[in-house]
Amino acid sequence: MKNGADTLRVACLGAGYFAQFHYDAWRRSSRVHLVGACDSDRDKAKATGLTAFGELDCMLKMAKPDLLDIITPPQTHRAAICQAIDHGVKTIICQKPFCTSFEEAQTVTEIAEAAGVTVVVHENFRFQPWYRTIRQALDTDLIGDVLQLTFRLRTGDGQGPEAYLDRQPYFQDMPKLLIHETGVHWIDTFRYLFGEPSAVYADLRKLNPVIKGEDAGYFIFDYDNGVRALFDGNRLLDHAAENCRTTLGEALVEGTRGTLSLAGDGSVHLRHFGDLEATTLLAARSWTGFGGDCVKNLIDHVICGVLDGAPLENEARDYLRVIAIERAIYESDSTGRKIREFGHA
Ligand SMILES: NC(=O)c1ccc[n+]([C@@H]2O[C@H](COP(=O)([O-])OP(=O)(O)OC[C@H]3O[C@@H](n4cnc5c(N)ncnc54)[C@H](O)[C@@H]3O)[C@@H](O)[C@H]2O)c1
């Protein structure tokens, strides 16, 4: 999909809490010209310092971006993508959760495909440097036959009546929270590390009575080769980290010849089977941006895709699988059954 240009004209929709990481990341790219920011709250768009718009249509007409970065909630995705397509935008990045349902995401994917427009879902966690390090360790066979993976999400921000209000107040009212909003990152990350699961089992619960959705629970992925991947999330508990939002938790990838561990500071260690000491594969450091600068890493990945023709990860069609697995997780929780059919993607 190489477009032959040297730089990209980029416009952003949304200027709320998480958008700050997008604007900062785009600004740090020398291959991008930021041409506009739009938010229905125009003051927020103005605060970005870019040419500000209150209406997407107007921004698309005036700023003529090559790429639209959508950083608004799911109920806005379909209309925004369709408007961008109508205005001739050829590349769109869209935040997760992608659209309001599997069916809507599928329809939007088909509309974009028919128009020859590339949509990449902003699924940033697989771009965190520690998962790239773990993937490299697996690809180079550092721990032998992998038997299991565990990620323990321990954000420590879910206690009491004030939970989430300072940063993401909408968390309190979401009917589905832990998996739909946050755990979805590990549906994708587990796929990035191990491929497609063959079955999923989940057990979710709500611990904080002031919120609507679930804030704790497990899901387990089965793989055909016998590997098991466990997501164990609890937003009320924390983990050893100066900033619990760096990794949001801790991970272990265990194989017959060794164990990889991810700590809350983003460091990755390898302990060989039978040893007491571990060696460092990725050292802790203070990262710019959010979560190991994963927003910038994702953005750079898309820039290389558009300007250099590099292959893209997590285009909309591929991401439908993540939504289907998420749906299976909730189905497993509500029926108490292991789910083996995730629907077509
Ligand atoms: N990938 C990640 O790591 C990550 C982290 C946090 C949030 N998110 C996702 O990013 C999205 C935004 O989250 P947030 O925390 O910034 O939310 P937010 O509520 O702080 O900001 C959303 C912004 O969108 C604007 N908006 C809503 N509808 C609009 C419309 N139709 N046209 C123009 N502007 C509109 C609102 O005015 C608001 O400023 C959500 O889907 C959230 O799940 C992703």
Q: Give pLDDT tens digits for 144-183.
A: 999 999 999 999 999 999 999 999 999 999 999 999 999 9
What is the predicted pLDDT for the residue at 3? 52
Q: What is the largest CA-CA distance in the chain?
A: 63
**Residue-range definition of the domain harbouring residue 115:** 8-123+295-313
pLDDT higher than 70, residue 343? no
**Best probe residue, ligand 1, of 77, 95, 122 (max atoms within 8 Å of C-beta):** 95
Residue 345: exposed, middle, or buried by beta-carbon count in 10 A (0-12, 13-18, 19+)?
Answer: middle
**For 5-37, what is each residue's pLDDT tens digit?**
789 999 999 999 999 999 999 999 999 999 999
**Cβ of 100 below 6 Å from ligand 1:** no
CATH number at 61 reads 3.40.50.720
| 110 & 47 share domain | yes
pLDDT band at 2 (very low <50, low <70, confident <90, very high): low
For 70-110, how does the pLDDT look when each residue is reduced to its tens digit (9 = 90+)? 999 999 999 999 999 999 999 999 999 999 999 999 999 99
Strands 216-222 and 228-234: antiparallel
d(CA 316, CA 51): 29
Residue 214 CB-density burial (10 A; 0-12 exposed, 13-18 middle, 19+ buried): buried
**Can you give the pLDDT at residue 342?**
82
Angle (deg, nearest 10), helices 294-308 and 19-27? 50
Q: Is the pLDDT of residue 1 over 70?
A: no
Give tens-digit pLDDT for 217-270: 999 999 999 999 999 999 999 999 999 999 999 999 999 999 999 999 999 999
Q: What is the pTM of this model?
A: 0.96
Q: What is the CATH number of the domain that holds 193?
A: 3.30.360.10
In a domain? residue 342 = no
CA distances 123 to 30, 163, 289, 294, Å, are 22, 24, 15, 9
Beta carbons of 307 and 6 less than 8 angstroms apart: yes
Pairing of strands 146-153, 199-205: unpaired
- Calculate what percentage of the chain has a pLDDT beyond 70: 98
- DSSP code of 125? G
- How many independent structural domains does the chain possess? 2
The answer on 176 and 55 residing in a single domain is no
Mean pLDDT of the chain: 96
Cis peptide before 97 (omega within 30 of 0): yes
Does residue 166 share a domain with residue 219?
yes
Neighbours of 42 (CB within 10 A): 15
With a 6 Å cutoff on the Cβ, whether 48 touches ligand 1 is: no
Q: Is 297 in the pocket of ligand 1 (CB under 6 A)?
A: no
Q: Are residues 248 and 153 in the same domain?
A: yes
Same domain, 225 and 134: yes
Query: Is pLDDT of 345 > 60?
Result: no
Q: What is the enclosing helix (H) or strand (E) of 187?
A: helix 184-194
Whether ligand 1 lies within 6 angstroms of the CB of 44 is answered as yes
Per the domain annotation, does 3 fall within a domain? no
Q: Which pLDDT belongs to residue 71?
A: 98
**199 Cα: distance to centroid of ligand 1 (angstroms):** 31
AA identity, residue 130: W
